[in-house]
Amino acid sequence: MPKKKNRSFFAISDSKIETREADGSKHVMGNIPYNSASEKIGWFTEYIQPGAFTKTLQEGDIRCLWNHDTQKVCGRNKAQTLEFNDKEDGLHFDCTLPDTTWATDMYESIQRGDTTGVSFGFQVVKDQWTDTQEDDDTTTTRRDLLEVKLFEVSVGVTFPAYPDSISSVATRELAVDDDIDLDIVGRALLSKRTNKPLGDKEKTTLRNSVDKIKSLLPEEESRKEDKPVLDIDATYQERSRNLALLEMETTI
């Protein structure tokens, strides 16, 4: 049974969001650039390759959301209120906003330059991993997204980063305080998948991190009443004595 693939989010730091009014409607436009580095995700960086969206644009039901809020749908491709144009430099989109108060507020906020972030939610269908050895102790990992299933495009994003970035950053900071290298744990999982063994220094770091993680597990509670250990010899002798006493009583 194939493993369930999780939904990921790509923060677009160099995408310029634009607004326009046409035929009495307000529009928000932006793009998802190709071959542009994502924010670093642990030990690797993602790049979207041209053609990654070809299939999902034909088959997918894609929404445009305000700041990842599923209650605030700005547009939808099935309703023709969200249009895509796949070009050489990236996937461009044009969303016709609904005539609602919150959409007007969002439009104003984007126009003022208060919320200019763009990101999108997707599921990886096909990817490719590449390791580059910078020096003896440094390896950079690149993940090229060759095909993805697109679920949403978010505009008016307050902080153009992954939705779980706050908890992730906090977790990573606490991990560093406890000398746990989460990057090496991730690299170990990747090395198993790509059949690229870790170096000796990385193995040592991994062992230390694993030991630290194990120390976080709660100790097994001691039993309130320990079960007595059965001594077979003592039990046999006791039964023999009881049997002898019983025989003596019957002869008296």
Say which residue the tokens 């939904």 belong to. 7
Mean pLDDT of 116-133: 87
Q: What pTM, to 2 d.p., does this model score?
A: 0.63
> Residue 242 burial by CB count (10 A; 0-12/13-18/19+): exposed, middle or buried?
exposed
The residues spanned by each domain of the chain are 8-160, 164-216
Say which residue the tokens 């010899």 belong to. 233
CA torsion sign, 66 to 69 to 71 to 76? positive
Mean pLDDT of 87-100: 95
Per residue in 16-60, pLDDT (tens digit) is 789 999 889 999 999 888 998 877 776 788 899 999 999 999 999
Distance CA 202, CA 6 (A): 27
